[in-house]
Amino acid sequence: MIDFAGRIAVVTGGGTGMGRELVRQLTAEGCTVAMCDVNAATMAETKRLAEAAGLPQGTRITTHICDIGREEEIQRFQREVADQLKTDRIHFLFNNAGIGGGGSFVTAERAEWERTFNICWGGVYWTTRAFLPMLLKADRAHITNTSSVNGFWASLGPATPHTAYSAAKFAVKGFTEALITDLRLNAPHVTCSVVMPGHIGTAIAMNTRSVLKDGANDVTPAELAAARARMKAQGIDPAPFSDDQIAALIADMGRRFQDDAPMTAAAAATVILDGVKSGRWRILVGEDAKLLDEAVRAAPETAYDADFRNPFGFTQQRS
C-alpha cells in the first residue's frame, strides 16, 4: 500500500473539480501539495477549504499560476516548487488539469483545436518531463495521469464531433500504459496509473469556455452557429430560438453537467486515491465508465455505429 503522509505531491488543475478534491484529501492525509491552475482565486479557495479542515502538522500547500498548455510556464512551475518547498524531490505527480473544446477537426478553428490538444495532452507530457528528475530522486514515486472514457471511446454521439479532446485523452492513456514498461526497466521505484473518469460533477464545461476565450464569458457567433447545427442534427428546429435563448441553453448545459452528474468530484478523488494506494495502474471512475468500458470492449467494431447503445441510457442516434 502507498502512504501519502509525510510525502510531497504536485497536482495540476487544483482550483476546481477533481483537482480541488485531490488537494483536500491528500493534505488531510498529511501530504504536502504544490498545486497549479490558471485561476488564482479558485486556488485560494481550495487552499482555504483544506486549511479550514485542519492540516496535520508539517503539511503545507503552495499555489502556483501556470498554464499547462505552455511548456515554459510548466518549467517555471517546477522551479517554483523546488524553491518554495526547498526540495529536489517529489513523490506524487497528479496530471489532472484539462479542458474540452476543439470538437471538429474539419470545422473548428485550428487555434482552438490545438489549444485543447496542447492542454489535455501537452500538459501531461510537459509536466511529466519537467518533474521527472524530482520523481527519480524520491525513494518511491508515482505518476497519475487523468485520461477519460473518451480515451477509449472517442465520441459523444453522432451529433457532436469530439476530436481534439478524444485524441488527447487517447494519447494520455497510451503514454501511461507505455510508461509501465519503461519505468519498470529504467526507474523501477517509480510507478504510474491512468485514470478514466465517466461523467463527474466538475466545472470543466464552464472552465473550457473561459480558458479558450481568455476569461471572457460571452457566447461568440461561432458558438451560436455550432449550437444551432447540433440542434438541427438532433432533429430540433433551431429557428424559433433567439441568440439569447441559445446562449442561455449553452450556459445551462455547463451548470447541469456539474450539478446533475452521477458522481461528485469528491467521490471521484477518493476512487483515484484509493486506486493509487492499492497500486492499480488502470482506474475507472464511475459506474458509467465501467459500463462503457465493457460495452466498447464487447463490440469494438460497432462502437461508432448510430445504434450503438452506451451505458448513459440512450443510443447515439438520440444523444
- The residues with which 11 forms a beta bridge, in sequence order, are 35, 94
Backbone angles phi and psi of 132, in degrees to 5: -55, -45
Give the pLDDT score at 44.
Answer: 98
Model pTM score? 0.87
Question: Hey, what's the cell of 184?
Answer: 519498470
Burial of 17 (0-12, 13-18, 19+ CB in 10 A): buried
- 253 CB contacts (<8 Å, ≥6 apart)? 205
CB 145 within 8 A of CB 124: yes
Higher pLDDT, 244 or 82: 82
Count, residues in the chain: 319
Statement: residue 292 has pLDDT above 70? yes
- The residues with which 299 forms a beta bridge, in sequence order, are none
Domains and CATH numbers, the chain: 8-202+264-318 (3.40.50.720), 206-260 (no CATH)
Q: Is 34 helix (H, G, I), strand (E, B) or coil?
A: strand
Query: Measured on CA atoms in the order 284, 289, 294, 297, is the torsion positive or negative?
Result: negative
229 to each of 155, 158, 238, how far by Cα in Å?
Answer: 17, 12, 8
**What is the Cα–Cα distance from 112 to 156, expressed in whole angstroms?**
18
Statement: residue 68 has pLDDT above 50? yes
- 230 CB contacts (<8 Å, ≥6 apart)? 159, 160
19 to each of 37, 204, 264, how far by Cα in Å?
Answer: 9, 11, 12
Q: Is 164 helix (H, G, I), strand (E, B) or coil?
A: helix
Higher pLDDT, 260 or 127: 127
Question: Hey, what's the cell of 153?
Answer: 471511446
- 240 CB contacts (<8 Å, ≥6 apart)? none
CB 103 within 8 A of CB 164: yes
Statement: residue 319 has pLDDT above 50? no
Identify which of 195, 179, 185 has the alpha carbon closest to the alpha carbon of residue 129.
179
Give the pLDDT score at 254.
Answer: 59
Question: Hey, what's the cell of 267?
Answer: 467521490
CB 22 within 8 A of CB 45: no
Q: Which of 148-162, 240-254, 255-269 has the highest mean pLDDT?
A: 148-162
* Average pLDDT across the chain, whole number: 89
Backbone angles phi and psi of 144, in degrees to 5: -120, 115
Residue identified by cell 474540452 is 100
Give the pLDDT score at 251.
Answer: 65
